[in-house]
Amino acid sequence: MSEAALVWRQYRLERRMFWRNPSAAFFNFALPLIFLALFGAVFSGNQDDLDVIVPGIAGMSIVSTTFVALAMNTVALREQGILKRLRGTPLPSGAYLSAVAMHAITNTVVQVTLVTVVGRIFFGTGWPKDVPELVVFVAAGVVCFASLGVALAHVIPNLDAAPAYTNAVFLPLIVLSGVFYDAGKAPTFLHDIAVALPLTHLIDGLSSAMVTGEPLSDNLGHLAVIAVWAVLGIVLAVRGFSWEARRD
Amino acid sequence: MSEPPAILVRDLRKSYGDVDAVRGIDFDVARGEVFGLLGPNGAGKTTTVEILEGYRNRTGGIVSVLGHDPAGRPRALRERTGIVLQSSGMYRYLTVREAIAHWAALYPRSRDVEEVIEVVGLQDSAQVRVRRLSGGQARRLDLALALVGDPELVFLDEPTTGFDPEARRAAWSTVRALADLGKTILLTTHYLDEAQALCDRVGIVKDGRILAVGAPSEIGVDAASRYRIAWRDEHGDTHVRETDDPTALLHQLTSGALARGVPLRDLSVTRPSLEDVYLELTAEAEEEAGRV
CB pairs under 8 A between A and B: 64
Q: Which residues of A97-127 are buried (b: 16+ CB within 10 A; e: fewer)?
A: ebbbbbbbbebbeebbebbbebbeeebebee
Could you tell me the CATH superfamily of domain B7-216? P-loop containing nucleotide triphosphate hydrolases (3.40.50.300)
Q: Which residues contact B1 (CB under 8 A, 6 or more apart)?
A: none
Residues of B in contact with A87 (CB under 8 A): 55, 73
- For residue B151, give the chain A residue with the closest CA: A89
Q: In B225-273, which ranges are continuous DSSP H helix?
A: 246-260
Angle between helices B135-147 and B96-106 (to 10 degrees): 20
> Which tens digit of pLDDT belongs to each residue from A30-42?
888 898 888 888 8
Residue A218 lies in a domain: yes
Pick from A202, A89, A214, A184: nearest CA to A148:
A202
Shortest Cα–Cα distance, B224 to chain A (Å): 34
Residue B245 phi/psi, 5° resolution? -125, 85
Of the candidates A16, A84, A89, the beta carbon closest to that of B106 is on: A89
**Residue B42 in this model has a pLDDT that exceeds 70:** yes
Pick from B176, B263, B275, B262: nearest CA to B225:
B275
**Torsion from C-alpha of B73, B78, B80, B83, nearest 10 degrees:** 110
- For residue B108, give the chain A residue with the closest CA: A1
Residue A7 lies in a domain: yes
Mean pLDDT for the stretch of residues A210-223: 91
Return the pLDDT at A27: 75
Residues of A in contact with B144 (CB under 8 A): none
Residues of A in contact with B75 (CB under 8 A): 90, 92
Shortest Cα–Cα distance, A100 to chain B (Å): 14
Q: CA A67 to CA B208: how far, in whole Å? A: 42
Residues of B in contact with A25 (CB under 8 A): none
> Which tens digit of pLDDT belongs to each residue from A130-159?
999 999 999 999 999 999 999 999 999 999
Measure Cα distances from B121 to B115, B182, B203 in Å. Answer: 10, 21, 30
Q: Name the band, by pLDDT with cuts 50, 70 and 90, for residue B193.
A: confident
Pairing of the two strands B201-206 and B209-214? antiparallel
Return the pLDDT at B289: 60
Residue A246 lies in a domain: no
Residue A247 lies in a domain: no
Of the candidates A6, A85, A90, the beta carbon closest to that of B90 is on: A85
Q: CA B36 to CA B202: how far, in whole Å? A: 5
A20 to chain B, any CB pair closer than 8 A? The answer is: yes
Of the candidates A9, A82, A244, the beta carbon closest to that of B90 is on: A82
Contact B88 A85 (CB under 8 A): yes
Mean pLDDT for the stretch of residues B174-193: 91
DSSP B152-197: SEEEEESTTTT--HHHHHHHHHHHHHHHHTT-EEEEEES-HHHHHH
Complex-level ipTM beyond the 0.95 threshold: no
Find residues 60-89 of chain A whose CB sits inside 8 Å of chain B: 80-82, 84-85, 87-89
What percent of chain B has pLDDT above 70? 91
* Long-range pairs, B279-283, Cβ under 8 A, ≥24: B280/B220, B280/B224, B281/B204, B281/B211, B281/B212, B281/B219, B281/B220, B281/B221, B281/B224, B282/B204, B282/B206, B282/B211, B282/B212
> Which tens digit of pLDDT belongs to each residue from B229-267?
899 988 888 988 888 888 888 998 899 889 988 888 889
Q: Which residues contact B104 (CB under 8 A, 6 or more apart)?
A: B110, B111, B113, B116, B148, B149
Question: Looking at chain B, how many residues does it have?
Answer: 292
Shortest Cα–Cα distance, A167 to chain B (Å): 24
Return the pLDDT at A106: 94
**Residue A88 in this model has a pLDDT that exceeds 60:** yes
Q: Name the band, by pLDDT with cuts 50, 70 and 90, for residue B222.
A: low
Cβ–Cβ contacts within 10 Å for residue B173, how many? Answer: 11
Mean pLDDT, chain B, whole residue set = 89
Q: Most A CBs within 10 Å: which of B47, B73, B102, B132, as the mutation test of the A interface?
A: B102
> Which tens digit of pLDDT belongs to each residue from B96-132?
999 999 999 999 999 999 999 998 889 999 999 999 9
Of the candidates A9, A13, A90, the beta carbon closest to that of B107 is on: A90
Of the candidates B88, B98, B107, the beta carbon closest to that of A81 is on: B88
Q: How many domains does chain A have?
A: 1
Residue B115 phi/psi, 5° resolution? -65, -45
Q: Which residues pair with B119 in a beta bridge?
A: none
| CB-CB contact of B179 with B31 (8 Å) | no
Residue A175 lies in a domain: yes
Q: CA A162 to CA A198: how far, in whole Å? A: 22
Handedness of CA A38, A40, A45, A46 (dihedral sign): positive
> Which tens digit of pLDDT belongs to each residue from A189-206?
888 888 999 999 999 999
Q: Is residue A221 within a helix (H) or strand (E), and if so which, with residue range?
A: helix A220-239
Residue ranges per domain, chain B? 7-216, 223-291
Q: Name the band, by pLDDT with cuts 50, 70 and 90, for residue B287.
A: low
What's the distance, CA B4 to chain centroid?
23
Contact A90 B89 (CB under 8 A): no
Pick from A108, A111, A133: nearest CA to A36:
A111
Mean pLDDT for the stretch of residues A171-190: 85
Return the pLDDT at A248: 44
Contact B94 A244 (CB under 8 A): no
Q: Name the band, by pLDDT with cuts 50, 70 and 90, for residue A124.
A: confident
Handedness of CA A14, A17, A19, A25 (dihedral sign): negative
Question: Looking at chain A, how many residues does it have?
Answer: 248
Return the pLDDT at B291: 55
Residues of A in contact with B79 (CB under 8 A): 90
> Which tens digit of pLDDT belongs to each residue from B24-40?
999 999 999 999 999 88
- 3-class DSSP state for residue A186? coil
Looking at this protein, which amino acid is placed at residue A23? S
Q: Which residues pair with B210 in a beta bridge?
A: B205
Q: CA A81 to CA A245: how far, in whole Å? A: 7
Residues of B in contact with A1 (CB under 8 A): 105-106, 108
Measure Cα distances from B283 to A123, A241, B125, B279, B291 in Å. Answer: 82, 43, 47, 6, 12
A247 to chain B, any CB pair closer than 8 A? The answer is: no
Q: Which residues contact B83 (CB under 8 A, 6 or more apart)?
A: A85, A88, B53, B146, B154, B155
Measure Cα distances from A43 to A33, A40, A105, A129, A230 in Å. Answer: 15, 5, 30, 22, 33
Least confident stretch, A237-246, B4-13, B45-54, B63-72: A237-246
For residue A176, the enclosing domain spans: 3-239
Contact B149 A89 (CB under 8 A): yes
Shortest Cα–Cα distance, A245 to chain B (Å): 10
Mean pLDDT, chain A, whole residue set = 90
